[in-house]
Amino acid sequence: MRLDGEVAVITGAGGAIGGAQARLLASSGAAIGVADVDMAKAEAMAREITKAGGRAIASALDVRDLDQWERTLAATEAAFGPVTVLANNAGANVRTTFDDQTEAMWDLIVDTILKGSFLGIKAAVPSMRRAGHGVIINLGSIASVRPGAMSPGYGAAKMGLVGLTRSAALSYATENIRCVLVSPGHVDTPFLRADTPYSPNDATTSLDNPENYRMRLAATPMGRLMSPEDIARTVRFVISPEAAAITGSMITVDGGAAM
């Protein structure tokens, strides 16, 4: 499935799910704007792609900041031509009860996931118009189907992406710009294992805890956790001409977990 001529800005591309997309799309012929709030991780991914013979530039991007979005889009377009693909992967979560979720936690989660995706679409569409086509991928979750009691901000933001995806799909359908929500199930990544500022984990929440690992496995009918590559292959399909009639919809990639 070749993507020659496509130019993709991928957020959270220094991380697991965004990184797998950056590698796969680059090896399929697309040029990549590797965007992450952590510039060291973005640079490492861009170097890896270039070393493997692909085309990539790194960009420091906090998705909550419109100016940084505009700089990222301008730099990517200057390097490779108009941007035709946007993948909004950057996310945040703080796994607390409703009672314990603070306003600051809510703002971190909702601003990163929902406002960040909104700003990205606003920044990318003018470039897609210059290209004459475009595909926007928003990264959902099981919480986009069935939000749980934990972390109300995460449920609200990932459900909010259902609405944002439909709104963008309807707004740009006549301009040959599609928007699709790709919703992963349980994926074994640092998001669920590590203790980061955007996704804190401790022994009660981390996949490093064998009990948590077993719980997520038991919640997945296919009997295995998803890999970042599972998600990346779906994203490549959504970008490809094979998916030319798909817009405004959600594709779950979850081994059946959201049923």
Ligand X SMILES: NC(=O)c1ccc[n+]([C@@H]2O[C@H](COP(=O)([O-])OP(=O)(O)OC[C@H]3O[C@@H](n4cnc5c(N)ncnc54)[C@H](O)[C@@H]3O)[C@@H](O)[C@H]2O)c1
Min CB(244)–ligand X separation in Å: 25
Q: How many residues does the chain have?
A: 259
132: exposed, middle or buried (Cβ count in 10 Å: 0-12, 13-18, 19+): exposed
Q: Is residue 252 at the binding interface for ligand X, with CB under 6 A as the rule?
A: no
Between CA 63 and CA 116 the distance in angstroms is 5
Nearest CA among 182, 87, 88, 192 for reference residue 141: 182
Q: Is residue 63 at the binding interface for ligand X, with CB under 6 A as the rule?
A: yes
Question: What does the block give as tokens for 48?
Answer: 């890896």
- The only residue of 15, 33, 152, 255 in contact with ligand X, by rule CB under 6 A: 15
- Residues 99-118 binding ligand X (CB under 6 A) are 112
Min CB(150)–ligand X separation in Å: 14
194: exposed, middle or buried (Cβ count in 10 Å: 0-12, 13-18, 19+): middle
- The only residue of 27, 29, 38, 55 in contact with ligand X, by rule CB under 6 A: 38
Residue 154: partners with Cβ closer than 8 Å, 6 or more residues away: 93, 95, 109, 113, 141, 143, 147
Min CB(96)–ligand X separation in Å: 16
Active site positions, annotated: 154
Torsions phi, psi for 247 (to 5 deg): -155, 145
Number of residues that bind ligand X (CB under 6 A): 31
- Residues 161-190 binding ligand X (CB under 6 A) are 184, 186-187, 189-190
x/- letters, 80..99, toward ligand X (CB under 6 A): ---------xxxx-------
* Window of 7-15, 76-84, 99-107, 125-133 that interacts with ligand X by CB under 6 A: 7-15
Q: Is residue 147 at the binding interface for ligand X, with CB under 6 A as the rule?
A: no
Q: Is 101 helix (H, G, I), strand (E, B) or coil?
A: coil
Q: Is residue 258 at the binding interface for ligand X, with CB under 6 A as the rule?
A: no
Question: What does the block give as tokens for 114?
Answer: 């929902």
Taking the least distance from each CB to ligand X, the nearer of 172 and 191 is: 191
Q: Is residue 141 at the binding interface for ligand X, with CB under 6 A as the rule?
A: yes
Taking the least distance from each CB to ligand X, the nearer of 14 and 54 is: 14
Q: Is residue 16 at the binding interface for ligand X, with CB under 6 A as the rule?
A: yes
* Window of 58-66, 99-107, 127-135, 166-174 that interacts with ligand X by CB under 6 A: 58-66
Nearest CA among 106, 113, 83, 89 for reference residue 12: 89
Q: Is 178 helix (H, G, I), strand (E, B) or coil?
A: strand
Min CB(153)–ligand X separation in Å: 11
Side-by-side strand order, sheet with 250-253: 55-60, 31-36, 7-11, 85-88, 134-139, 177-184, 250-253
Note the residues at the interface with ligand X (CB under 6 A). 11-12, 14-18, 36-38, 41, 61-64, 89-92, 112, 139, 141, 184, 186-187, 189-192, 198-199
